[in-house]
Structures are given as C-alpha cells and as structure tokens.
Chains A and B, each alone.
Chain A
Amino acid sequence: MSDVPTDLRYANSHEWVNVEGDTATIGISDHAQEELTELVFIELPEVGSQLTAGDPCAVVESVKTASDIYSPVSGQVIEINDALDTEPGTINEDPYGDGWFFKVRLSNLEEIDDLLSDKDYAEQVNT
C-alpha cells in the first residue's frame, strides 16, 4: 500500500499538489516513486517559466528509464527544489516532503477542483 496523504490533491498522472493560497507545491506520489525505482537524475522547469496543466514540465530518470512529469496545474514557476539536482534519491526517500519538485503561482484556481481527492487517488493506486 503506497502512502496517500489526506491533505493533498492529486493528478491521475501521479503528481501531488499542495495548495496554499494562490501557490501550489508539486511533487510525485509515493506510488509513482516506487514504480519508477531509484531515481538518479531530474530535470526541473526553470524559475519564471509558464506551465500549462497537463503539459510535460519535468523529467525524472531511474537507472533504467526516463519518464515525463506533467504539470497538474497552470501558472508560473516561482521556486524549484535545487537540492534534487545533486540528491535525486530524496524523491524516493521523502516524496511528499524534501522530495518536492517546484512551486507555482497558480493562474487558474479552478483547476484545483479538477484534481483528485486523496480518497479517489488512493482508490486508483491502492486497489
């Protein structure tokens, strides 16, 4: 059973979103990190770049393979987790904490309503 914290929203492409006011922090779920296996490299969006919900915005690479990460929301990137550049394994160890990817200033708050609740996401990955 993978961990699905109750205070987050989820994209069905396995990203999580933590909304605080008009800012969202984004990362990938415990289920995603487990299936991806040990991550060895990450490419994050640039600070200042504009993201559109559903578009690829980052790449994570395990020993075996490269995978796209899709932005669950639209907005401008205001901060990225630079520490992942040297320690991508943090994503595996702490996907909902130190393994966060980037923060976005939301341009369309209504998109949050389209995201999955913890309950719905847990049903997707844990059943």
Chain B
Amino acid sequence: MALNQPMATRSSGKNRLEPGRKLSRDWPSAYTVRPLGEEKTNLKRTSLYDAHVALGGRMVEFGGWEMPMLYSGIATEHHAVRKAAGLFDISHMGEFLFDGPDALKFLNQLLTNDLSRLEPGQGQYTLLCQDNGGVIDDLYAYRLDRDRFLLVVNASRIEVDWMWFKAHRNNRHKTLQFEMADRSGDLSATALQGPKAAEIISGEFPSAVELKKNQITELDFGGTSAWVSRTGYTGEDGFELVIPNDRAVALWNQLLSLGQALDLAPAGLGARDTLRTEAGYSLYGHELTSETTPIEAALGWAVALDKRDFNGREMLAGQKQDGVSRRCVGFKMTAKSAPPREHYPIFSADGTDREIGDVTSGTQSPSLGCGIGLGYVETAHAKAGTPIEIEIRNRRFPAQVVKQPIYRKPD
C-alpha cells in the first residue's frame, strides 16, 4: 500500500543497462522513479536508515523515500516471512490522528468502510474516494477510543490525503467538533510478519499475542507508548508497531534480537511486493488509482453501502447494482514464461483474440515458482478458472484467472 507512481518499467517492460557508468545503487529496481531535476539528496530517510545500511540493505528510492529494497535477497527474505518471520521498516507510511466527538461522523463521511462497526481497539481496511468513486488512497483506520481514530496511509499519498481531509474539514464540515493531526513526521513504524511473529513479539510485548486480527492496543516500550496492531501486508500472521521516531531504532534492534534464534530476517520492499502480490493485496498506483473504483478493484467488501451517505456512495452503489465493465483479478502463468510485468497486455483465450485488459502488478512468485500478477480484465473474463493470455515482448503466454490469495499456504 505505498506507491503512487507507475513502476519505472517502460512500455517495453524492460530496464536498460546504462552503458558507460557504474550502475547506481538504485538501479535497476522497479521502484526507481525519480522526478526530473530532483537530486537524491532530497530523498527522505526514516529513523532506521542507518540501521538498514549497517545491515547491508540496498537502498533505493521509493515514493520520495530512501528505503531498503533488499538485504540478503528478495527471494530469501520472502521465504523467511513465509516460513519464519521478517521485519520491515514501514516508517515512510503516514499516520493521522482524529480526536473528538464528531471525528466518527467526519471520517465516516469520507471513508468507504463503516467505522461505527468498530469497537475501541479494532481496525479496518478502508478507502478514501472522490465523489466519482475514484480512489484517492487505501488505508487502515483504527478506533483507538470511542472518539479517537488513527489512520495509517500510503507514504506517497500523505500530502494528498491530508489536503483532502483538511479541505473537507474547512469547507463542508466546519462546525464538527474534533481535532486532526498529521503525525507522519514524528512517528516510525515497523511490520513484524510471519508464522513466528507472535512468538517473537511475545518476548517484548507478552500481551500483544492476545490481539486478534485487526485489533490494536497501546503498549509500553521502555517508558514509551507504542501502538501495536495485528495487521500486515504479506498474507501472514503478524504485527505492525507504531512508535515515536526517537525509539524506533531501539525497538527495531530489540525485535531483531528477539527473533535471532527464530530465523527472523530484516526484509525489504522487494519481498514486501512479492508477498503482497501473492496475497492479492492492492498497491496504490497500480491496482488502485483515481481512475479506478473499489468495486472495479474487487474491494466491495470494504465499501459499506448501508451507511447513510459518504463520498462516492452514489457512484459505487450504482456500480454494485449495475455491475462494472472491468474487474481486478489475480492470475497465474500456466506455462513456462518470463514473469508478467505491469502494463503487459492481457488477451482473451476464448478464440476471439481480443485485448481484454492489462497487468497492474506482476512478478515471479517465490512461493509458487511461476509468474503471477494482478490486473484488470473485462468482467466476462474475471471468473476464477478463466484462461487468459499475457503478452510478453510480442509473444502470448497462457495464464489463468485464479481465486485470491494467489498463493495459499498448504494446511
């Protein structure tokens, strides 16, 4: 959930080994999208930057941040998360706090899911939409107390989201009683993910293991409050921890040390992307943009149409009732091929030989050992089991629409 630019891969889907110079450290990551004229010195660094460098992290640009793409290797870190545990720096993500008797009313007007369904200590996946249903961001909203809410938003969308909230606060909802604060600058966050995450976190936060999926609590870390939630972006059990910047390194090191005997590995954005793709999770800028709606993105479960009113409701209710012309699906390559990549065209495999959509995320799945991806196809082709074809460098390769998650752990 953290990218606003298209991947650097061009329409050919290929990077170019740039001759005549050393390959820069951020090359050839698909995350390297640098606005023209912006020097690397303008990149933001999280409180954990030095820790990443000390661990041998390969730092790349990601949505204006200098983040680790990998430490030991993407596939290695991916497998660590599936089999043991991985620790991710997600400090680039944004945190907004809303506090006051009308905070619920305000947020429920702007977000698609229904915050009134949450008890204090619970969170939910939700989306921020324009009136036309286009997605501004996807995020997690937590009800910390009855009238107090924490929103965790994508790094690349912090400014846009905040402007949106502020504009609505100042225009349409002037009289509502609540305060809002953008805490992104002074809060860090880490994600501890994998089957051994609970065992690892119990060494520092014994009560964290009592959290159920999507629950959040405030816990003490050596005199500093941290929010700990049972959430993640990998398809594994796990926790996300939000803590003030000045304690981020201590928490990171403590978790690494607790996990040392349990094969915990620091994990970078590369593994985060392969894990979330296998899990079928959307990434802003790819599956979700201002041109796509949650219904098209197959996220209707996070749209509470039974709420009285909210931004985008009319459009989304119409789409829900009348159906949509295209839909986001997961797919697997069914014969040997290069991995699918963003922007590759998708063709029908029913003999009509028509272009029916395109890939929005694609990778080699480390868990399955084949190419997998997410993409939009015409609704008639969106059913699991439907054969489709992916065009890779002017050749078509067979694939199949699959149920999500694309990778499911064997029981």
Which A residues are within 8 Å of any B CB, using their own CB?
Answer: 11-14, 31-32, 35-38, 40-41, 43, 59, 61-70, 124-127
Contacts of B70 in A (CB 8 A): 37
Chief secondary structure at chain A's binding surface: mixed
Nearest-CB residue, chain A, relative to B392: A66
New A-B contacts (6) at CB < 8 Å, excluding given A38-B73, A124-B20: A31-B23, A32-B17, A36-B28, A65-B341, A70-B17, A126-B22
Interface flag for B13 (CB, 8 Å): yes
Please measure, in the bound complex, the distance between the C-alpha atom of A37 and the C-alpha atom of B19, giving whole angstroms: 18
Tell me whether A63 and B74 are in contact (CB under 8 A): yes
Interface flag for B27 (CB, 8 Å): yes
Please tell me which one of the listed residues B19, B74, B270 contacts residue A12 in the complex, with CB atoms under 8 A apart: B19
Contacts of B16 in A (CB 8 A): 67-68
Contacts of A63 in B (CB 8 A): 74-75, 270, 274, 339, 363-364, 366
Please tell me which one of the listed residues A66, A124, A125, A126 contacts residue B14 in the complex, with CB atoms under 8 A apart: A66
Tell me whether A35 and B27 are in contact (CB under 8 A): yes
Please measure, in the bound complex, the distance between the C-alpha atom of A11 and the C-alpha atom of B19, giving whole angstroms: 8
Please measure, in the bound complex, the distance between the C-alpha atom of A12 and the C-alpha atom of B22, giving whole angstroms: 9
Tell me whether A59 and B393 are in contact (CB under 8 A): yes
Please tell me which one of the listed residues A65, A124, A126 contacts residue B15 in the complex, with CB atoms under 8 A apart: A65
> Per-residue 0/1 for B1-42: is the Cβ within 8 Å of any A Cβ (1 yes, 0 no)?
000000111000111111111110001111100000000000
Could you pull out 24 A-B pairs where Cβ atoms are within 8 angstroms? A12-B21, A13-B19, A14-B19, A14-B23, A31-B22, A31-B23, A37-B74, A38-B74, A38-B75, A41-B364, A59-B14, A61-B338, A61-B339, A61-B364, A63-B270, A63-B274, A64-B29, A64-B74, A66-B14, A66-B15, A66-B338, A68-B17, A124-B20, A125-B23
> Per-residue 0/1 for B91-108: is the Cβ within 8 Å of any A Cβ (1 yes, 0 no)?
000000000000000000
Please tell me which one of the listed residues B21, B23, B270, B393 contacts residue A64 in the complex, with CB atoms under 8 A apart: B270
Interface flag for B236 (CB, 8 Å): no
Please measure, in the bound complex, the distance between the C-alpha atom of A37 and the C-alpha atom of B28, giving whole angstroms: 9
Please measure, in the bound complex, the distance between the C-alpha atom of A29 and the C-alpha atom of B10, giving whole angstroms: 24
Nearest-CB residue, chain B, relative to A14: B17
Contacts of B75 in A (CB 8 A): 38, 63
> Per-residue 0/1 for B349-385: is the Cβ within 8 Å of any A Cβ (1 yes, 0 no)?
0000000000000011010000000000000000000
Nearest-CB residue, chain B, relative to A123: B22
Leading 4 A-B pairs by shortest Cβ distance? A13-B19, A12-B19, A40-B364, A35-B23
Please measure, in the bound complex, the distance between the C-alpha atom of A92 and the C-alpha atom of B274, giving whole angstroms: 20
Query: Shortest CB–CB separation between residue A27 and chain B, in angstroms?
Result: 13
Query: Shortest CB–CB separation between residue B391 and chain A, in angstroms?
Result: 13
Please measure, in the bound complex, the distance between the C-alpha atom of A13 and the C-alpha atom of B341, giving whole angstroms: 23
Please tell me which one of the listed residues A40, A65, A70, A124 contacts residue B22 in the complex, with CB atoms under 8 A apart: A124
Interface flag for B273 (CB, 8 Å): yes
Please tell me which one of the listed residues B8, B20, B23 contacts residue A32 in the complex, with CB atoms under 8 A apart: B23
Query: Shortest CB–CB separation between residue B384 and chain A, in angstroms?
Result: 25
Contacts of B274 in A (CB 8 A): 63
Please measure, in the bound complex, the distance between the C-alpha atom of A13 and the C-alpha atom of B74, giving whole angstroms: 24
Query: Shortest CB–CB separation between residue B345 and chain A, in angstroms?
Result: 15
Please tell me which one of the listed residues A38, A69, A127 contacts residue B17 in the complex, with CB atoms under 8 A apart: A69
Known A-B contacts A63-B363, A63-B364; the reply to A37 vs B17 at CB < 8 A is: no
Interface residues of B in 74-123 (CB under 8 A from A): 74-75
Contacts of B30 in A (CB 8 A): 64-65
Please measure, in the bound complex, the distance between the C-alpha atom of A57 and the C-alpha atom of B45, giving whole angstroms: 38
Contacts of B17 in A (CB 8 A): 13-14, 32, 67-70
Contacts of B337 in A (CB 8 A): 41
Contacts of B393 in A (CB 8 A): 43, 59
Please measure, in the bound complex, the distance between the C-alpha atom of A68 and the C-alpha atom of B13, giving whole angstroms: 10
Query: Shortest CB–CB separation between residue A20 and chain B, in angstroms?
Result: 25
Please measure, in the bound complex, the distance between the C-alpha atom of A26 and the C-alpha atom of B45, giving whole angstroms: 40
Tell me whether B28 and A41 are in contact (CB under 8 A): no
Tell me whether A65 and B28 are in contact (CB under 8 A): yes
Nearest-CB residue, chain A, relative to B7: A65
Please measure, in the bound complex, the distance between the C-alpha atom of A70 and the C-alpha atom of B20, giving whole angstroms: 13
Known A-B contacts A41-B339, A59-B393; the reply to A67 vs B15 at CB < 8 A is: yes
Contacts of A127 in B (CB 8 A): 22
